[in-house]
Amino acid sequence: MGTRVVPVTNPVEGQATSLQQLARGLLDAWQGPVCAVDSESKIVAVNQVWRDHAAAHGGTDESCGVGVSYLDTCDRAAAHGGGPYSVDAAIVAQGIRQVLAGSLGQFGHDYPCDSPSQSRWFNVRLTPAVINDGMGAVISHLDITELHESQRSIAHQSLHDPLTDLPNRELMLDRLEHAVNDADRNGLEIAVTHLDLHRYGQVNDRIGYRGGDAVLVQVAERLQAQLRPGDTLSRSSGDKFMVLWADLDPDRPGVAVELSQGLVHALDDPFDIVGVPLQLSASAGVAMHTRGQSVDELLQSMDAALQDAKSRGPGHVARFTHEVREATTFRRSLEADLRQALVGTVTQFVLHYQPVVDLASGRVAAVEALVRWQHPVWGLLGPDRFIPLAEATGLIHQLGDWVLEQAVQDAATLTHQGRELDVAVNFSVRQLDDRTVAKLQRALERSALKPGRLIVEVTESAIVEDQEGTATTLEALSQLGVKIAVDDFGTGYSSLLYLRRYPVDILKIDREFVAGIGLRADDEAICASITDLATAVGASTVGEGVETMQQYAFLRSLGCRQGQGFLWSPAVALDKFEAAMNSCDQVPVAAPRSLGAPPRQSLDPEVTALIAKMHAEGAPLHAIAAALNRTIGRNPSGERWTAGAVARGLPAAGIESGIEDSNPAPFVLICNDVEPIRRLLRIGLEQAGFAVEEAADGRAAMARLIQTDAPTPAVIVLDSQQAPYDAWWAIAAIRAHHTLDDVPVLLVTTATAKHASVEADEAGFDATVTKPFPPAELVKAVSRLATTGRSVPGGPKSRFR
């Protein structure tokens, strides 16, 4: 072999030979094809693998390429544009030139090499070497197919969900980024949907984690089947899936919602894992991309829509709209206020206490602590307005700690006629964790409250939702001597099996069923069976929301132990506690009745005739209720009537009658003593096309309304709290005034004033909005009243009062 691979200065024959042999050995030792090229890139030597490779691929040329220019070969392949290797060849050609010119120390490049039977990857590496007295190079090739594949699978794994093999959040975000840019540039319509499975946690409880995983895989498959080409489905977290809808038809604005409904319906058929049929449902939120909107904004809109859908219940698909945005912004600001209130030095929270009465003796036996929030702008807010928010944000822990501390401290003063009362405290399920027991123990130690006087109330649905952790905590609490009450009993969905697993002392019959006593046989049957059930598991019962003597008497006849409700007293602040206790003592004790014959309330014929007459005359429900309440003296059970109760007693078709468009003038008077709220309402109402006037209290409102040249408002909005000229003062004045008794009036109130709803009806309000509310809610209520007017034009109060 006449080729010198390794440069030798002043070669001595023997040395040259051994060096050549060494070089040959080195070349052949390389496990991939190797060649050496001179400064002109001409191949001067190849190794054994190269030869074998050439032979295996049908090479007949004895030289195996020796003498050929490596660079020419690359340039030819590169020039063959569109050929499979043209780009790689161009890159390698460039590398060779640089190495041979001495401007590059090393060069390497990975390239694919597909044959019909297999596809492989190679790495080509150029190392400069002096060859034949010039700057040449050794060019080695290595088969890196395996390395390449493992790298590729790592890359795949980092961008895909290992369970479903769907793109993960990161990949989805990347695609979304491109889609959003593309949409902006080319004016395309795209949308995103977030889908959340409902109660997926229960699936794991029922069939274990492996089963739960299998369900997720099936869900992914069903969802995938709903996609069109170009759409992307990803699993964004545990039980949430996200879809990017590409290139939607701009002429069909509802198409993204339709597609999302398709996703939700795809889960309708039961899933079958290990022979257990499982029914799943989901909610979904959709957001359309608007021009110039960032990915973050789009995702926020999507999640706001999902929240909205979830608040409507499983199976719903909600689209992001202006109102959703408003509700979200509103929720955020309220959340910020709540956070602030919890760190503030002056507490904005207060506990109100509602007496719980022993039905047989009529004596107060316990009190339930119910939290309220004295909001700096919105006034006193009821728990329904902020507990769900506190739960969703985790702030419930701090709030719950405060409630417990305060209730336990107040316990010393919660006595009546020398008797110590039990104290019931509500717990959210999220508060029941492994720290609860120690926390409660410390709170009890610091106060003089005996554990037996403390009742922990947990809602039934909460217990049903998280069985494991809750059971342990409740068990430990029970060991301490604390009593456990199941709140809102009867509203949960699950089997009653858990009653055996939990140390339950008290079942609280939900007020929804109590409200049906005397009106609906099934509600009465539910009250009866809950009482029976409690007896069977050794628990006692409390009837919630008792408003009438009839409900009291019925519950007592069932053997229900205790009751609480407006019949005795609403929840009151500590300074009104004594007065509330005394008012409880005024309520007569209902006579016991035999258990065998629960009283079946039918309407007194005289009362029925009165309802029929007033209804025929077109009287609104609240007016009928007011008239009925005046007949209480003749009613043996002495119940109070609400408009709702009257409605349930009337034929359904008649209820809507008498509504007509009586007052088109779009002028609204808002009466509220808090300036920021007035401003907020004004903005909302003006945007909706109303003219707005403001008054700071009821008297100012009346002064404005009775001016002779004043236009009659389409709607009056009265805030309930602005003593002494509050909404109650103002409504009496309005209804008594001959030009105003037809004007619909909206009451703005707080959830804590629930007992006011009966009175609101009677007083002549036409609708109620509960604080706090997003402005859109109020605008909607005002618009409705402005178009329908009062339910009966002509002033029912003047006829029936």
Which of 319, 317, 303 has its CA nearest to residue 263?
317
Q: Contact, 509 vs 541, CB < 8 A?
A: yes
Nearer to Ca ion, 542 or 695 (CB): 542
Shortest gap between Cβ of 224 and ligand C2E (angstroms)? 40
Shortest gap between Cβ of 151 and Ca ion (angstroms)? 59
Distance from the Cα of residue 790 to its chain's centroid: 37
Shortest gap between Cβ of 368 and ligand C2E (angstroms)? 6
Residues 31 and 143: their CA atoms lie apart, in Å, by 9
Could you give phi then psi for residue 318, rounded to 5 degrees? -120, 145
Nearer to Ca ion, 182 or 358 (CB): 358
DSSP 3-state of 707: coil
Which of Ca ion, ligand C2E, none lies near 566, with the C-beta cut-off 5 to 8 A by kind?
Answer: ligand C2E
Q: Contact, 421 vs 366, CB < 8 A?
A: yes
Shortest gap between Cβ of 457 and Ca ion (angstroms)? 4
Which of ligand C2E, Ca ion, none lies near 383, with the C-beta cut-off 5 to 8 A by kind?
Answer: ligand C2E
Q: Contact, 90 vs 98, CB < 8 A?
A: no
Nearer to ligand C2E, 393 or 798 (CB): 393
Residues in contact with Ca ion, shown as a per-residue x/- string from 411 to 450 under the rule CB under 5 A: ---------------x------------------------
Shortest gap between Cβ of 502 and Ca ion (angstroms)? 16
Which of ligand C2E, Ca ion, none lies near 571, with the C-beta cut-off 5 to 8 A by kind?
Answer: ligand C2E
Count of residues interacting with Ca ion (CB under 5 A): 5
Shortest gap between Cβ of 487 and ligand C2E (angstroms)? 5
Shortest gap between Cβ of 444 and ligand C2E (angstroms)? 17
Which of 762, 727, 733 has its CA nearest to residue 746?
727
Rounded to the nearest 5 percent, the helix, strand and coil shares of the chain are 45, 20, 35
Nearer to ligand C2E, 403 or 625 (CB): 403
Nearer to ligand C2E, 650 or 751 (CB): 751
Residues 296 and 291: their CA atoms lie apart, in Å, by 13
Nearer to ligand C2E, 37 or 486 (CB): 486
457 binds Ca ion (CB under 5 A): yes
Nearer to ligand C2E, 545 or 774 (CB): 545
115 half-sphere exposure, CB direction, 13 A CA radius: 5
- Cα-Cα-Cα-Cα torsion 70, 75, 81, 87, nearest 10 degrees, comes to 70
Shortest gap between Cβ of 754 and ligand C2E (angstroms)? 5
Residues in contact with Ca ion, shown as a per-residue x/- string from 476 to 505 under the rule CB under 5 A: -----------xx-----------------
For residue 712, give both structure tokens: 């009659």
Shortest gap between Cβ of 493 and ligand C2E (angstroms)? 18
Which of ligand C2E, Ca ion, none lies near 751, with the C-beta cut-off 5 to 8 A by kind?
Answer: ligand C2E
Shortest gap between Cβ of 541 and Ca ion (angstroms)? 12
Which of Ca ion, ligand C2E, none lies near 531, with the C-beta cut-off 5 to 8 A by kind?
Answer: none
Q: Residues interacting with ligand C2E, by CB under 6 A?
A: 354, 370-371, 382-384, 387, 400, 403, 426-428, 457, 487-488, 511, 544-547, 564-566, 570-571, 751-752, 754
For residue 262, give both structure tokens: 């398709």
Shortest gap between Cβ of 503 and ligand C2E (angstroms)? 19
Residues 779 and 688: their CA atoms lie apart, in Å, by 7
Nearer to ligand C2E, 540 or 783 (CB): 540
Helical (H) or strand (E) element with 289: none
Between the alpha carbon of residue 168 and those of residues 162, 172, 592, the distances in Å are 9, 6, 65
Enumerate residues 315-354 that contact Ca ion by CB under 5 A: none
Q: Contact, 6 vs 26, CB < 8 A?
A: no
119 bridge partner residues: 114
Looking at 82-90, 226-234, 349-357, 540-548, which segment touches Ca ion (CB under 5 A)?
Answer: 540-548
Which of Ca ion, ligand C2E, none lies near 403, with the C-beta cut-off 5 to 8 A by kind?
Answer: ligand C2E
Shortest gap between Cβ of 543 and ligand C2E (angstroms)? 10
Nearer to ligand C2E, 88 or 487 (CB): 487
Distance from the Cα of residue 399 to its chain's centroid: 20
Looking at 147-155, 453-461, 662-670, 783-791, which segment touches Ca ion (CB under 5 A)?
Answer: 453-461
Which of Ca ion, ligand C2E, none lies near 658, with the C-beta cut-off 5 to 8 A by kind?
Answer: none
CA pseudo-torsion sign 592, 597, 601, 604 = negative
For 465-476, give the DSSP string: H-HHHHHHHHHH
For 637-659, give the DSSP string: T-PPP-HHHHHHHS-GGGTTTT-
Which of ligand C2E, Ca ion, none lies near 614, with the C-beta cut-off 5 to 8 A by kind?
Answer: none
DSSP 3-state of 572: strand
Which of ligand C2E, Ca ion, none lies near 410, with the C-beta cut-off 5 to 8 A by kind?
Answer: none
Shortest gap between Cβ of 773 and ligand C2E (angstroms)? 16
For residue 178, give both structure tokens: 């491109």
For 709-741, give the DSSP string: TPPPPSEEEEES--SSS-HHHHHHHHHHSTTTT
Alpha carbon distance, N-terminus to C-terminus of the chain: 125
Which of Ca ion, ligand C2E, none lies near 189, with the C-beta cut-off 5 to 8 A by kind?
Answer: none
Residues 715 and 685: their CA atoms lie apart, in Å, by 11
Shortest gap between Cβ of 431 and ligand C2E (angstroms)? 7
Shortest gap between Cβ of 386 and ligand C2E (angstroms)? 9
Residue 37 corresponds to which amino acid?
V
Which of Ca ion, ligand C2E, none lies near 663, with the C-beta cut-off 5 to 8 A by kind?
Answer: none
Nearer to ligand C2E, 547 or 726 (CB): 547
Residues 364 and 355: their CA atoms lie apart, in Å, by 6
Residues 284 and 209: their CA atoms lie apart, in Å, by 24
Nearer to Ca ion, 484 or 745 (CB): 484
Which of Ca ion, ligand C2E, none lies near 354, with the C-beta cut-off 5 to 8 A by kind?
Answer: ligand C2E
The total number of residues written for the chain in this structure: 801
Residue 569 corresponds to which amino acid?
S
Angle between helices 436-446 and 396-410 (to 10 degrees): 30
Nearer to ligand C2E, 324 or 404 (CB): 404
Q: Contact, 179 vs 244, CB < 8 A?
A: yes
Distance from the Cα of residue 398 to its chain's centroid: 21
Looking at 542-550, 580-588, 608-616, 707-715, which segment touches Ca ion (CB under 5 A)?
Answer: 542-550
For 530-565, give the DSSP string: HHHHHHHHT-EEEE-S--SHHHHHHHHHHT--EE-S
* Nearest residue to ligand C2E, scored by beta-carbon proximity: 565
Which of Ca ion, ligand C2E, none lies near 387, with the C-beta cut-off 5 to 8 A by kind?
Answer: ligand C2E
Nearer to ligand C2E, 164 or 548 (CB): 548
Phi-psi category of residue 559: left, alpha or beta, with phi > 0 → left and psi -120 to 50 → alpha: left
Distance from the Cα of residue 224 to its chain's centroid: 24
Which of ligand C2E, Ca ion, none lies near 726, with the C-beta cut-off 5 to 8 A by kind?
Answer: none
Nearer to Ca ion, 329 or 491 (CB): 491
For residue 224, give both structure tokens: 């995938």
Shortest gap between Cβ of 364 and ligand C2E (angstroms)? 14
Which of Ca ion, ligand C2E, none lies near 754, with the C-beta cut-off 5 to 8 A by kind?
Answer: ligand C2E
- Residues within the interface to Ca ion (CB under 5 A): 426, 457, 487-488, 544
